[in-house]
Amino acid sequence: MIMPKTALVSIAALALASSSADAFAPPAFLRTDAPGASSSSSSSALSMGKSQTTPGPSSAGSSGPATSEYRMKKMSKRMKGKKKKGGFSDKDFDDDKSSSKAAAIMEHELAAEPEGGEGVQPLVAGTEEIGDFIIRIKDLGPVDESDEAYDLKEELGTPVHNFWLTALVNGKDVQKTRNIVLKDSAKHANFPGFRPGQIPPYAQPKMTFFALQETLVSSCQQSIKIFGVNEINKDQLGAVTFNENVEDLSKIYDTKKCPSIPFTANFRGSFDPDAVRQSAEEDATENEAEEESDE
């Protein structure tokens, strides 16, 4: 499982013992150069479960053009007032508690969306919406027999699939996590030419880097639940590969405004056999009931 934030900030703090560039290496469980991680300079492999292995590409997962625009407006009425199965609740999007609804979105180039595959519908319509941003998942098909995860079918009782995801990292979550990292790191910071406890400007992007890694993984874990998809928690098979360069993002991220960050990722997962997907008829009935209650 992912290490808790307390462990994350402690390890980050230990990395501040000197001004050497090596002092800022991320902890092993977040290393993009860890065994099995992507060798591409434009992507980062982190673990949603126990692994650090990049999911194998599907034959239907070749890169293709993608055009997406992201805007933020006030939340959909469907996201207010009650908790939805597999989705987010008011608590998740409260202005004072990690809110995305009023946050600006960072503009940056996303990796191309893979061609082929089939879009996965959310368990409950509307739970994939964050303002005007739409979380999406593509099923790129079952892993093939050459993939190590293929043999998990018998253990899990369901085939393992390759998935592509586009989701949003909550800006308030980034800010909160970064503040925790900074606070704990300052207790151990002792840089030549700086007061004890002071983190110099050149070390700030690395603090942002740690925070982005943690919140990217958390966002993935939350997002896939909306679609009834389970992460893989088995040895070296449960990694998520972020298709954007996390370190580059950390260098240009506005830590004053803390905008939310759209991203894309690939990972192995499986469909939850116990998930109940709401039918179109049930959704229409619920919409009518909500409209009547509003009146």
Q: What is the DSSP string of 3-52?
A: PPHHHHHHHHHHTTSSSSGGGGPPPGGG-TTSTT----TT-EEEESSS--
Structure-token pair, residue 115: 């061609």
Q: Is the whole model's pTM more than 0.85, yes or no?
A: no
pLDDT in tens, the chain (295 residues): 344 444 454 445 444 433 343 344 333 333 333 333 333 334 555 666 533 333 433 333 333 332 233 223 333 343 344 334 444 333 443 444 344 444 699 999 999 999 999 999 999 999 999 998 999 999 999 999 999 999 999 999 999 999 999 999 999 999 999 999 999 989 988 888 999 999 999 999 999 999 999 999 999 999 999 999 999 988 778 899 999 999 999 999 999 999 999 999 999 999 999 988 876 565 556 656 666 666 6
Q: How far from the centroid of its chain's Cα atoms is residue 11's Cα? A: 21
Nearest to 92 by CA among 121, 45, 46, 135: 135
